[in-house]
A = this chain, B = another copy of it.
Amino acid sequence: MMYNFRNFTNVANFVFGQGSFNQLGAILKQRRKPTSAFFIFFVDDVFKGEALAQKIPLQGQDTIVWISAQEEPKTSTVDLITQQIHDDFNTLPTGVIGIGGGTLMDYAKAISLTLTNPGSSTQYQGLDLIKNKGVWCACIPTLSGTGAEVSMTAVLSGPEKKLGIKCDYTVPDQIILDPELTKGVPPHQRFYTGMDCYIHAVEALTGYCSNALGDAYGEKSLALCRDVFLNHENSYAPEVNEKLMIASYLGGLSLTYAQVGVCHALSYGLSHVLKYPHGIANCICLNQLEDYYGDAVSTFHQMVEQHQIPIPQHITKALPEEKLVALAKVAYDLDHMWLHALGKDWKAKMTLEKLVDLYARL
């Protein structure tokens, strides 16, 4: 019974409230005591020229790195930006701040670590491979659902695999949860990313690695998601934005204890091989996973219907067999997800052939 439970690290500081983004300057000020202090902001490039960009409290050497979230976060981009920062500055930045959806927050979390851990980020994809604490890292979601603001994983696509850098040091030091920042998200993106949260809760609650604390978070996150996507005609009302942001946060916490499952494993393949963004890839997969997540899939269909969001179908119809096998291989390698979803004997229940069949349905 000894040493069985991980001693988890929490986000150290958190602000929640409509308009709380305005407090970022005051929060950074407390860390600017040495005159050499400076911060690097990783910001989704959709905000270029927008009001949000004007509100970023730049001082002195502070730098904004604009990053597109069209593609999922990549190890190559992490390595490039890390090198650029080392080249451009004599010292490490005082901190990094990710402003955007999961992609931007994962970049901030990953680069915080690669700045203090030498070599390519690819060598750190996995559990507890990071040696040194990173630079101070803040995450500010502008899109609700991924839970990246609170999770201990920075998910990256590398040349060989899509896998997170997961360790205690990956957890951000500071988060600002300002539901106002999500006001301008286009409906389809809001839906796809919101479904990431819904799927986190469904998968966390349907598996072998859960425990009572993870379940408590997952259940509340699920209840909030259902409320947001089934009971509110105006999805952009401030109280709905609040609920979805909290659902995302609690969903991220539920994953501290449980894992994602079948849907995420399949979606990693779609993202890695076919470059589908994570949120829509998840929706494409869940849409066909009645066998695994029955009622939750029916509810998903109801949400899709109600919000009239297109979910692509037959996307693998024209793919050659070897592409299906490539997809299946990416999914099959995600042991930790299968272990949670199907149990210790998962290899008796899930095979490469079965995965090829599942992908052929999408």
**Which residues of A are interface residues toward B (Cβ below 8 A)?**
1-17, 19-20, 22-23, 26-27, 174, 177, 211-213, 216, 219-220, 224, 239, 242-243, 246, 249-250, 257
Identical chains in the assembly: 2
Q: Is the CB of B212 within 8 A of A220?
A: no
**Contacts of A219 on B, CB cut-off 8 Å?**
220
A306 to B22, CA, bound (A): 50
Shortest C-beta distance, A362 to chain B (Å), equals 34
In the complex, 27 of the A-B residue pairs with CB atoms within 8 angstroms, ordered by the A residue number, are A1-B19, A2-B19, A2-B22, A3-B23, A4-B17, A5-B16, A5-B17, A5-B23, A6-B15, A7-B13, A7-B15, A7-B27, A8-B15, A9-B13, A10-B13, A16-B211, A16-B212, A17-B211, A177-B213, A212-B242, A212-B243, A212-B246, A213-B246, A216-B220, A216-B243, A216-B250, A220-B220
Contact of A5 among B8, B15, B220 (CB under 8 A): B15
Among A6, A8, A212, A249, max chain B CB count under 10 A is at A212
Q: Is the CB of B5 within 8 A of A13?
A: no
Select from chain B the residue with minimum beta-carbon distance to A213: B16
A20 to B3, CA, bound (A): 7
**Contacts of A8 on B, CB cut-off 8 Å?**
13-15
Shortest C-beta distance, A251 to chain B (Å), equals 11
Shortest C-beta distance, A305 to chain B (Å), equals 27
User: Given A11-B10, A219-B220, A250-B216, are A2 and B17 neighbors across the interface (CB < 8 Å)?
Assistant: no
**Contacts of A9 on B, CB cut-off 8 Å?**
12-13
Q: Is the CB of A14 within 8 A of B7?
A: yes
A23 to B19, CA, bound (A): 41
